[in-house]
Structure 1
Amino acid sequence: MSDEIKHECGIALLRLRKPLQYYIDKYGTPLYAVNKMALLMNKQANRGQDGAGIANIKLHVPPGNRYISRYRSVESKPIEDIFEKVNKKFRKAEKEDPKQFKNAEWLQQHYGFTGEVWMGHLRYGTHGKNEIENCHPFLRQNNWKSRNLVVAGNFNMTNVDSLFDKLVSLGQHPKDKVDTVTVMEKIGHFLDEEVQRQFDHFKPLFPEDNKQLSTLIEGNIDLGRVLQRSCRDFDGGYTMCGMTGTGAAFVARDPAGIRPAYYYADDEVIVVASEKPAIKMSFNCDYSDIEEIKPGHAMVIDVSGEYRQEEFLEPLPKKSCSFERIYFSRASDPDIYHERKKLGKLVLPQILKEIDNDLANTVFSYIPNTAETAFFGLVEGLDEYLVKERKRHIREGLLFEEDLERLLSFRPRTEKLISKDVKLRTFITDDAHRDEMVSNVYETTFGVVKEHQDTIVLIDDSIVRGTTLERSILRMLDRLSPKKIVIVSSAPQIRYPDCYGIDMSKMKDFVAFRAVLKLLEENNREELLDETFAKCKDALENDFAHQQNFVKALYEPFTDEQISRKIAEIVTPKNCQAEISVIYQTVDGLHTACPGHSGDWYFTGDYPTPGGNKVVNQAFVNYMVGKGNERAYGAF
């Protein structure tokens, strides 16, 4: 999207199902798992450029040997930084003893990152400083292997305060009130209780043999039970990975399926990732072999390498994030590719109406590159429309030969009007000249638009704030001297904050919200702001804000078209010569294009969890009392 927003993190989990020596013998290198993890994370690098981290656990190493390794990085290229450090270890091992370099037992005794269980995380920090302490995986250590816990996830919780209070009531003293800490400590608490439960069960059987007792405990820990007890109070969107010190692992998905999680398994590996293309490219499997972890279920992997999906919370109606389909996930996923094309095709009727069907004097283009697939769908829709028009004219039989030739040879005019100059950076300039520099980050193609005659139709993934349109894109397009510029969003109007992972938490940031404020003012309906504020404040003070989204009332007096026209006025730059129009995808169109992914709360205000309602009400109160820059839910 032209308005850059930070978004959901990415996860990767890899379990080798055979001893390390098997992979050394078969693939000729002890770096099989390292290379696969590097590929899994690089193929999801779009999901986290603020930081990255990996953790690794060795199975069955004797006491006295390290069995958990972890690296995290917030360097400019964190994935590259991490795996360069890991590879440095292996280069050192090969140099130290070339003969032993392919001996798994020797490697695991002397070097880290030689274990069979791997976890990776890519961080896009929605809030909080970009420091190493904020990077996953997080580690909860204990001298009992079974009590060690490594956690990473793609999640945001709406109820961090209540989760923190719950930990305190359990007798803990959490070091910070952030969802990553509260999640890890809550799971850790119930993991401790599960270990104690197994200890109490087996101790009478082996009163004098604590070593065998530990082995029994490690093999019988019920991770499903741990998740049932620890996650029942969670309100948010999440895909959480966990590994115990024994090498058991899990990937848990929230009951509404908000955050994505996919897995693949064969005789050699079990792998979980946030996106299917990462698994496909890393293991050369068929897409049909990659399955989705069901909402409210966890992929549980035993110490033995056996796996199963286990329900730990009752699933809710599935509301998987539609922004994954519109923008975040890679379009190389065949399902997402076709969905994005359909999103582009479905806005065509609105476009034709806006340009009075004058295709001869219309130039179609797109920005940014992620909108290219929707653009292909739009062009495909234009081709289908022209086929129908040709048939209609031929059936009417009122064409001269030259008219028929013109009709049959006509093609829509598609051009690359704007491209980004990746070499130009803007952070070094002062605020007074920043807009001018931002506009020069893009390059404009001259000589293809007929001045004062053509209409430009430019499709974008979505329009969040509208600032990039106003400050750069529309100014550049206006230099081409078109008669009219039509900006098309393949997503509906973003009206409400997200609280499940996307960096969209402040009401004042949304150009649709600013448009409604102007409409309320122009129509003498500003009392609706005070009425809504009173309802939100009362609901928050009396603990029923989770029951209803009161902010919806602000949008109800106006049609989508009225809001779109006002948005067009807001984003029109000063002294712009061309007429500006803005078109949005409809919510019905979104559901038609992405039928299996109905999470649409940022467009409709229909939140999948009670915490979402509380967040939107709090966000509006923050705006009204002058705290619009504050986040409406717990820290990340």
Structure 2
Amino acid sequence: MSDAIKHECGIAFIRLLKPLEYYQAKYGTPFYGINKLYLLMEKQHNRGQDGVGVANIKLDVEPGKRYISRYRSISNKPIQDTFDYINSRFSKLEKEDPMKLNDCAWLKENVAFTGELLLGHLRYGTYGKNSVEACHPFLRQNNWKTRNLVVAGNFNLTNVDELFNFMVEIGQHPKEKADTVTVMEKIGHFLDMENQELFDHYKSLGYSNKEISELIAKGLNVGQILKRASEDWDGGYVMSGLFGHGDAFVLRDPNGIRPAYYYKDDEIVVVASERPAIQTAFNLKADDVQELTPGHALITKKGGTVKEEEIIAPKEKRACSFERIYFSRGSDQDIYQERLNLGRNIAPKVFEEVGHDFENTVFSFIPNTAEISYYGMMKAADDQLNDWKTNQIQSLKDPTPEKIQSILSRTTRGEKIAIKDAKLRTFITQDEARDDLVAHVYDVTYGVVKEGKDNLVMIDDSIVRGTTLRQSIIRILDRLGPKKIIIVSSAPQIRYPDCYGIDMAKLGDFAAFRAAIELLRERKLDKLITDVYNSCKEQENAPKEQVINHVKRIYEPFTADEISDKIGELLTPQGTKAEVKLIYQSLEGLKDACPHNSGDWYFSGDYPTQGGNKVVNKAFINFVEGRDERAY
């Protein structure tokens, strides 16, 4: 993607179902769990490179021994730093007493990160400060094992104010108003309640406190805790939690907005945000890995039982389509096909724009995530060219080998045009000089495009702000001298903010929104901006259940093509010699390519939860009032 946008995060959860000695005997190492966690996190590094955290819990540790370990890092290479830290104690032991590296009982008793429960988290610091304190997993400590809680997740909730007020009403004093804190404290509150209810029950039966502690560990109802805690959550989430005594869960939102996949056998339970990560780490086929059902939690009890339990009644599945377009790794077999289809579906509009002149059109892509959709577009071009060849050969009155060969020799012109260089340091302070450096983030292949004659088609997976197109890509492509530059987005126009975990929160950032506002002003329709603003203000303090998306009205006077043309005009740098055209995927083309991920609110404005409408209206209020802040 030319305009990089950030995704909140990814998770990796492992529960070893056998003693460490089992893995040492079968796999030759007592560090099987931590090694697999490293693989899962490394294979999901695309989901977060600003911060990383790992937590570990040991089962059945004697009192007085530490059983919870955690490390978090915001270094330049946080995954490497985290596992260097973890492995440093093993490396030290290898030098001092290598025999102990094979003593599983000693390791578990004396060395951190050698327990059966492991939880890893990768984070993008999309908002606010990127400090270690903001990194997951979060830890809520208590001397009672069953009251200890470790939480990490991939989520954004739209109703943080409501959740914060709930915590205040029950007498707590949350340290900040953030969904990460309120989520952990709300789960923790109902964990405490469950503990107290069980304690009171067993106390009334005459059990001692020590006996009660063990009974609570066996009887803790994880599903009930989650049902109580998540009852009023509004947003997209995959939440993972570990309890100090050994129970664990991974919970997915009822619309299935955020992704979660799992695998289990008699040795291990593993959950990750991406299916290929599990396949690679454990050498599995796609069918071996299950998708966690929306509204359900995968609950692992200390005794080793594993089950999916419904926590919230599943709603219409609105899995995030941006996962398929951009965020998730394209090595997933389904995502690969979907990205090919995105390229195929946009191709007819591209061919129409170049007048089906394949002889004088060069096709390429903006590195690197658009590469698969580029292949899809080229497959469609090859299909159309083959149809042309068939018709040409059939129409020959004198089909000599030379004439047939002349027809068959025609090929589509696919080339590597744009090359992304290492990020340049913009150390110069003057705007003009700094912009000149930014313009060189991309380089191009010279000598491929015929000056003044060729069309140049460049496909990107999506266009959010268009800043890099305007400042860098279009300028440097224009140096090649094409007759026309066609920028193609495999995704539809991004018109509305996300509020479920993607770094797209401000309406004024979106090229499509700026284009619509510009068109309204040009056509003397400014009153609509005021009307929409007033409608949003009227519902500003209404319950989220009553709010509707008024911002849709901003786009209603225009066709998608009119907005695309205006975006092209706004993003074309002054002095560009080539004609510049922008082409976007249609909503229908997206739905056809990604039929199982219908979460398209950033394109359609149809939010899957009630809080989404409140967020988009607030974002519009912020835009009109000139406030540069997130809307939730």
TM-score (norm 1): 0.97
The within-5 A match list for 1:246-261 is 246-261=245-260
1:6-34: CA deviations, max 9, x gaps?
11300000000001121122222222111
Tell me what 2:210 maps to.
211
2:317 paired with 1:318: yes
Alignment partners' CA distance in 2, 1:28 and 1:544:
55
**Bigger shift: residues 57-66 or 545-554:** 545-554
Give, as a single letter, the amino acid of the residue that structure 1 aligns with 2:210: K
* Aligned 8 A contact 2:495 2:510 in 1: yes
Deviation at 1:206, TM superposition (A): 4.1
1:365-397: CA deviations, max 9, x gaps?
001211100011111111111122222333444
Alignment partners' CA distance in 2, 1:357 and 1:182:
56
Change (3 A) 1:91 1:631: same
The within-5 A match list for 1:293-308 is 293-308=292-307
1:273-320: CA deviations, max 9, x gaps?
000111011111111100100110011010012111111001110000
Alignment partners' CA distance in 1, 2:32 and 2:94:
15
Alignment partners' CA distance in 2, 1:362 and 1:531:
45
Deviation at 1:199, TM superposition (A): 1.4
Tell me what 1:576 maps to.
576
The within-5 A match list for 1:210-249 is 210-249=209-248
The within-5 A match list for 1:196-595 is 196-207=196-207, 209-397=208-396, 401=400, 402-422=402-422, 424-432=423-431, 433-543=433-543, 547-595=547-595
* Aligned 8 A contact 1:156 1:499 in 2: yes
Tell me what 1:44 maps to.
44
Alignment partners' CA distance in 2, 1:317 and 1:18:
38
Aligned residues between the structures: 630
**Bigger shift: residues 252-261 or 195-204:** 195-204
Alignment partners' CA distance in 2, 1:73 and 1:398:
73
Alignment partners' CA distance in 2, 1:273 and 1:544:
32
Alignment partners' CA distance in 2, 1:135 and 1:399:
73
Alignment partners' CA distance in 1, 2:13 and 2:19:
17
Structure 1 gap segments, 5+ residues each: none
1:511-566: CA deviations, max 9, x gaps?
00010011111111111000000000001134458531000001011000000000
Deviation at 1:128, TM superposition (A): 1.1
Change (3 A) 1:394 1:38: same
Tell me what 1:169 maps to.
169
* Aligned 8 A contact 2:515 2:570 in 1: yes
Give, as a single letter, the amino acid of the residue that structure 1 aligns with 2:275: K
Tell me what 1:7 maps to.
7
SS of equivalent to 1:4: coil
SS of equivalent to 1:407: helix
Alignment partners' CA distance in 2, 1:371 and 1:542:
41
SS of equivalent to 1:477: helix
SS of equivalent to 2:98: coil
1:549-595: CA deviations, max 9, x gaps?
00000101100000000011011010000000000000000010000
* Aligned 8 A contact 2:426 2:438 in 1: no
* Aligned 8 A contact 1:463 1:494 in 2: yes
Alignment partners' CA distance in 1, 2:74 and 2:239:
21
Deviation at 1:98, TM superposition (A): 2.5
Tell me what 2:149 maps to.
149
Change (3 A) 1:148 1:77: same
* Aligned 8 A contact 1:546 1:612 in 2: no
SS of equivalent to 2:166: helix
* Aligned 8 A contact 2:393 2:399 in 1: no
Alignment partners' CA distance in 2, 1:537 and 1:431:
40
SS of equivalent to 2:481: coil
Deviation at 1:400, TM superposition (A): 5.9
Deviation at 1:399, TM superposition (A): 6.9
1:243-266: CA deviations, max 9, x gaps?
000111000000100000000111
Change (3 A) 1:431 1:289: farther
Change (3 A) 1:538 1:544: farther
**Bigger shift: residues 172-181 or 379-388:** 379-388
Change (3 A) 1:203 1:475: same
* Aligned 8 A contact 2:343 2:377 in 1: yes
Alignment partners' CA distance in 1, 2:36 and 2:556:
51
Alignment partners' CA distance in 1, 2:192 and 2:384:
64
SS of equivalent to 2:369: helix
Alignment partners' CA distance in 2, 1:63 and 1:560:
66
* Aligned 8 A contact 1:546 1:613 in 2: no
**Bigger shift: residues 209-218 or 601-610:** 209-218
**Bigger shift: residues 438-447 or 449-458:** 438-447
Deviation at 1:40, TM superposition (A): 0.6
Deviation at 1:90, TM superposition (A): 1.1
2:606 paired with 1:602: no
Give, as a single letter, the amino acid of the residue that structure 1 aligns with 2:21: Q
**Bigger shift: residues 536-545 or 215-224:** 536-545
Coordinate RMSD, CA, aligned: 1.3
Give, as a single letter, the amino acid of the residue that structure 1 aligns with 2:269: I
SS of equivalent to 2:565: helix
Deviation at 1:398, TM superposition (A): 5.4
Tell me what 1:621 maps to.
621
Give, as a single letter, the amino acid of the residue that structure 2 aligns with 1:594: C
Give, as a single letter, the amino acid of the residue that structure 2 aligns with 1:612: G
**Identical-residue share of aligned pairs (%):** 57
Deviation at 1:96, TM superposition (A): 3.7
Alignment partners' CA distance in 2, 1:287 and 1:343:
22
* Aligned 8 A contact 2:544 2:613 in 1: no
Alignment partners' CA distance in 1, 2:278 and 2:539:
45
TM-score (norm 2): 0.98
Alignment partners' CA distance in 2, 1:127 and 1:339:
30
1:325-353: CA deviations, max 9, x gaps?
00000000000000000000111110011
* Aligned 8 A contact 2:454 2:482 in 1: yes
**Bigger shift: residues 214-223 or 483-492:** 214-223
Alignment partners' CA distance in 2, 1:18 and 1:391:
63
SS of equivalent to 1:203: helix
* Aligned 8 A contact 2:257 2:317 in 1: yes
